[in-house]
Structure 1
Amino acid sequence: MKFAEFHAGQTIEAGPYPVDEAEIIRFAKAYDPQWFHTDPQAASKGRFNGLIASGWHTCAIAMRLATDAALHGSESFASPGIERIRWPHPVRPGDRLRLVATVTEARRSASKPDLGILEWRWQLFNQNDREVLELQATSLFDLKPG
């Protein structure tokens, strides 16, 4: 999507994205090697009663879905950050995640009119409509002509 296509109140949906045990373990071993993400047997005895995905893995899935649905082919070039992030429920093997992204603001910078600023709330839900991720992101768009 191009920046001009975004507007406050708009909802963009993507998915589902299937999550399997092998992907959870592979990601965790590379980036978040805690036992409840990497060891199904030990995780079965833990507080979550089974293996769960890293929150950072959940964020990466959301990024993939947002890129596929809205950012691919756009003028987006960076993000200055995320305002907040929450993981209200764990992601488990076999979950199918869908993204609901709600635009809260789309505007041109007052000081740099060739810069588009998109504020949007991302939520991921599993197949049971349980929220597994919520974040408030800012995306920047290069609006220079040509």
Structure 2
Amino acid sequence: MIYFEDIEVGATARFGAYHVLREEVIDFARRYDPQPFHLSDEAAAQTHFGRIAASGWHSCAMMMRMLVDHMTETKQAGLGSPGIDELRWLKPVYPGDTLRMESEILEKTPSRSRPDMGSYKTRATVFNQHDEPVMTLRSIGLIRRRPAG
């Protein structure tokens, strides 16, 4: 199990391989972001996207899936997150893209009020199959401290 004490500032990780499906892009858009360029080839062709593009919020959800899979595989003692900062959608994500992630630990801080936990800040970048960054963000993660004994 990876605890707060095991996190090293400056450590990097590369992980994920999420294949973006057209049906998933349209279904997400129908449910949560029904703008025409997420739903219709014809409407998307009239925009700078040129074709159906995933919602930025769908890109966040796909990033979250890769992140949780990574945390599960590495057995992190995660406790969620109080939020993210500096979210940027740099390039459209299209059906047929394959996404991956890179992250870097920027800092870590033991909790002053909860001695059983700490937090860490991460810079994350999502790339497409051409190694082009499509999204960046900074996040704060909460994680358990190593149990005594």
- TM-score of the two chains, using structure 1 as the length reference: 0.90
For the Cα contact (< 8 Å) 1:13–1:69, is it kept in 2?
no
Which residue number in structure 2 is paired with residue 82 of structure 1?
Answer: 84
What is the one-letter code of the residue matched to 1:20?
L
Greater than 3 Å deviation, 4+ residue runs: none
Aligned-partner Cα distance in 1 for 2:71–2:123: 13
Deviation, 1:80, is 1.0
Q: Which residue of 2 aligns with 1:45?
A: 46
**Equivalent in the alignment of 1:12:** 13
Alignment-derived partner of residue 22 in structure 2 = 21
Instruction: Quote the Cα distance in structure 2 between the aligned partners of 1:71 and 1:77.
Output: 12
- Whole-angstrom CA distance in 2 between matches of 1:5 and 1:93: 37
User: 2:122 is matched with which residue: 115, 120, 123?
Assistant: 120
Q: Which runs of 5+ in 2 are unaligned?
A: none
Distance in structure 2 (CA, Å) of the matches to 1:71 and 1:112: 24
* Segment of structure 1 superposing worse, 3-12 or 88-97: 3-12
Map 1:56-95 → 2, pairs under 5 A: 56-70=57-71, 73-95=75-97
* Residue aligning to 1:54: 55
Bigger Cα displacement from structure 2, 63-72 vs 29-38? 63-72
CA distance, structure 1, for counterparts of residue 98 and residue 80 of structure 2: 28
Q: Which residue of 2 aligns with 1:98?
A: 100
In 2, the alpha carbon distance for the partners of 1:71 and 1:115 equals 18
Aligned-partner residue type, residue 99 of structure 2: L
**Using the alignment, how far apart are the partners of 1:20 and 1:121 within structure 2?**
26
Aligned residue pairs, count = 146
Alignment identity in percent?
39
Q: Secondary structure at the match of 2:86?
A: strand
Q: Which amino acid aligns with 1:95?
A: D
CA distance in 2, matches of 1:95, 1:110: 43
